[in-house]
Amino acid sequence: MKVTEFTDEYELAAPLFDSTAAELRARTLPPGSRRWLAVDDGIAVAAATSMVRPDDRVFLRFVGDAEAYGPLADGVIATLGRRVHAFTRSEEMLAALERAGFGIENVTEDFAVPFDRALALTSRAWLPSGYSLHRADEVDEDRLFALDNMLRRDVPGSDGWRGNREWFHDELHGDPAFDPSAYLVAQEENSGEYVGLTRIWRNDSGPRLGLIGVRRHHRGSTLAPFMLHRALESAATWGSEVFHTGTSLSNRVVYPKLSELGESQGLSWQLVRE
């Protein structure tokens, strides 16, 4: 078996992607993405496509014969000179990745949470003195972007996060899932600093709590549950009885609460290979 970086072998690779050579050629890879092929006796048996995430982790997406995932990962690591990661929601793919030498880095569980239960839990939270709450379309976008990066770095498996400023702008101005009534920013009044945010996306598949976070020096109060309650009040009017969200099993504060409030929708795994 030989592993090579893909250049223009569309005829060879097309069957792996259930497409014709012309269709595969028309699928432009995102900026920074690359592709490798595992070829055995003149036939492409598997492929790996890379993507660099905003936290500078390189993620691989595999197709084809699982026995080729290990050699493909070896080839990518040799070319890039760095570790690689993978993500899956499938137990079958998890087993294949572990056979290929990947180790679990983080496990996340998704939940469907009834609005009424979450609203009841947060109903007694109040806005602490010295803080104010603002909609995302009312605040400075550059400062919000900086806060978003800071809070994302505290999410398990996302340390080192450095978001794309252009994508962030597009989320706030062109994404139909953006609803500023459920995307709220907390500000410390004395300093003027943005210190926390919560956002619920208005997805076609139903509301999804994407992030809730407060800067470390401002934790330990009712600021976070108050922000969440206000966002949930808005999202509860969108026509769904539940919202979806996920958290790492290692999150000893959030995970137990979600386990109690919501119904599990399954696990997902983030893996790494040196």
SS3 sequence, the chain? CEEEECCCCHHHHHHHHCCCHHHHHHCCCCCCCCEEEEEECCEEEEEEEEEECCCCCEEEEEEECHHHHHHHHHHHHHHHCCCEEEEECCHHHHHHHHHCCCEEEEEEEEEEEEHHHHHHHHCCCCCCCCEEEEEHHHCCHHHHHHHHHHHHCCCCCCCCCCCCHHHHHHHHHCCCCCCHHHEEEEEECCCCCEEEEEEEEEECCEEEEEEEEECHHHCCCCHHHHHHHHHHHHHHHHCCCEEEEEEECCCCCHHHHHHHHCEEEEEEEEEEEC
How far is it, in rounded angstroms, from Cα 179 to Cα 37? 42
Mean pLDDT of the chain: 95
| Residue range 250-256: mean pLDDT, rounded | 91
- Counting residues of the chain whose pLDDT is more than 90, the rounded percentage is 87
| Residue range 222-249: mean pLDDT, rounded | 97
pLDDT in tens, 76-116: 999 999 999 999 999 999 999 999 999 999 999 999 999 99
Q: Which CATH class is domain 109-269?
A: alpha beta
Q: What pLDDT is recorded for position 46?
A: 98
| Residue range 218-235: mean pLDDT, rounded | 96
- Angle at CA of residue 136, ends 134 and 138, nearest 5°: 65
- Counting residues of the chain whose pLDDT is more than 70, the rounded percentage is 100
| pLDDT tier for residue 159 given thresholds of 50, 70 and 90 | confident
| pLDDT tier for residue 229 given thresholds of 50, 70 and 90 | very high
Q: Which are the contacts of 179, defined by CB distance < 8 A and separation ≥ 6?
A: 200, 201, 202, 234, 235, 238
**2-101 in CATH: which number?**
3.40.630.30
pLDDT at 11 over 80: yes
Token pair for 12:
């060879």
Q: What pLDDT is recorded for position 162?
A: 87
Q: Could you state, in order of their start, the residue ranges of all structural domains in the chain?
A: 2-101, 109-269
pLDDT at 157 over 80: no
Tell me if domain 2-101 and domain 109-269 are identical in fold: yes
Q: Would you call 145 exposed, middle or buried from its count of C-beta atoms within 10 A (0-12, 13-18, 19+)?
A: middle
pLDDT at 158 over 90: no
Q: What pLDDT is recorded for position 155?
A: 86
| Residue range 201-226: mean pLDDT, rounded | 95
